[in-house]
Each structure stands twice: as structure tokens, then as C-alpha cells.
Amino acid sequence: MLDAAVFLNAFTALFVIIDPIGAALIFHSLNPAHEFKYRIIVALKVFCFSLLLLIGFGVYGKELLAQLGISIAALRIAGGILLFYTAFHMITRELRFDLDSGRGDISVFPMSIPLVAGPGSLTVCILLFSSSSPANTQISVALAVIAVCALCFVLMLASPLVKRLVGRSGDEILRRFLGVLLAALAIQFIMDGVSGFGLQG
């Protein structure tokens, strides 16, 4: 059964860190706008690769960390610092669109890694799945991952329209606003990690 609160929390966190609108604009800049069939194939591959990475890392990442002797509290603090660093650059850096004149496969790099399934989103998935012990809450987190990846897929297909509606200025404003939200989320992860160390002590 879907836990609406867990789903919304996971969806919001992933939406902020992945930024599907920004990913769609970059996707548009790297693909021929007139070749719709080609964009469908690439967008579908991005969806599949990103979904497998995010859910796989979220489900099995905790066990991997346990083998390395890394606690969830330490991961929360490290992940929070990483997310804050990402948020800082989302707010302060200029967005660069690298035009690709060739027809190389961009589905793995740079679209899946690091734009959709990057360090920030992978860290968030581990934290969300590790905080969701009951099966129904883990299903809710998984559905949130699927929903965000599906939203990325739809926006990539509609990227020419997104480009016309949002434009570069609109995306920069949105990106900076999402950066502020991500910075707050990062601080919350750090606070939760410090509290976790206190409980362990």
C-alpha cells in the first residue's frame, strides 16, 4: 500500500536534486530536435539506465556500506555535505550547454550519469531506502523514483516545447530556487546524521 507522505517526501527530494526540467533542456541541446524517433530511443535508454542505477543503489547500497564499515549516520552527514556542495553550485554557477555535433550515444554519459543518476541522487536514494524499513514505505520510495524518472522521460520527449516555454532564463531561475531547497535538505540530512551519532553513543 502506498504511503503518501513517504512518496511525496521522496518525490520532492529526488525532483529537487535531479531537476527534470534542467535535464530536459540539456537533453534538447545534445539531440537533433527534428529527429523524434531518435530522441525516443535515447530518452527510453536514459529512463531504463537511471531507474536501474537509482533503485539498485538504493536497495543494495546500505549492505555495501555495511561491508565497508560505514554507518548510515556517517552517510547522512557525508551525503548532506555533498548535497550542500551541489546546491551551492546550482545557485552560484552558470549553466553551460555543450552542443554535440556528432551522433554519439549520450544515454549513459552525460544523461544517466551524472545528470539523472549522479552522486547526489544516488546518495538520496540510499538515505531514503535506508530510512524506510517497512515494505510498504520502501515500495513508496521505489514508486517515487519511478515517477521522477518517468517525468524525466516525458520532459525529454517534449524537450523542444520545454525549451520554448521555459527558456534558459526560466531554467536558471528555477535551478537557483531548487538549489535553495536542496541546501535546506542537505542541512536536514546533516542534522539527522549528527542526531544518529548521538543515539549510537
Residue found by looking up cell 524537450 in the block: 159
CB 46 within 8 A of CB 107: yes
pLDDT tens track for 14-42: 998 898 988 898 888 777 666 788 889 99
Q: What is the mean pLDDT of residues 122-128?
A: 87
CA dist 90 and 176 (Å) reads 6
Neighbours of 24 (CB within 10 A): 26
Neighbours of 110 (CB within 10 A): 17
Side-chain-side CA neighbours of 45 within 13 Å: the count stands at 14
Residue 56: domain span: 4-95+102-200
In eight-state DSSP terms, residue 94 is: P
Q: State yes or no: pLDDT of 156 exceeds 80.
A: yes
Q: Which of 118, 149, 156 is nearest to 31 (CA)?
A: 156
pLDDT top residue among 108 and 80: 108
Domain count, the chain: 1
CA dist 137 and 4 (Å) reads 9
Q: Which of 55, 61, 17, 46 is nearest to 141 (CA)?
A: 55
* Predicted structure pTM score: 0.75
Q: What is the mean pLDDT of residues 113-125?
A: 84
Q: What is the mean pLDDT of residues 150-160?
A: 94
pLDDT at 132: 65
Identify the top-confidence range among 5-14, 34-43, 86-95, 99-108: 5-14
CB 157 within 8 A of CB 40: yes
Q: Name the 3-class secondary structure at 52.
A: helix
H-type helices in 68-134, by residue range? 72-92, 119-130
pLDDT tens track for 163-182: 888 876 777 787 788 788 77
pLDDT top residue among 27 and 144: 144
Q: Which residues of 145-184 are buried (b: 16+ CB within 10 A; e: fewer)?
A: beebbebbbebbbebeebbeebeeeebeeebeebbebbbe
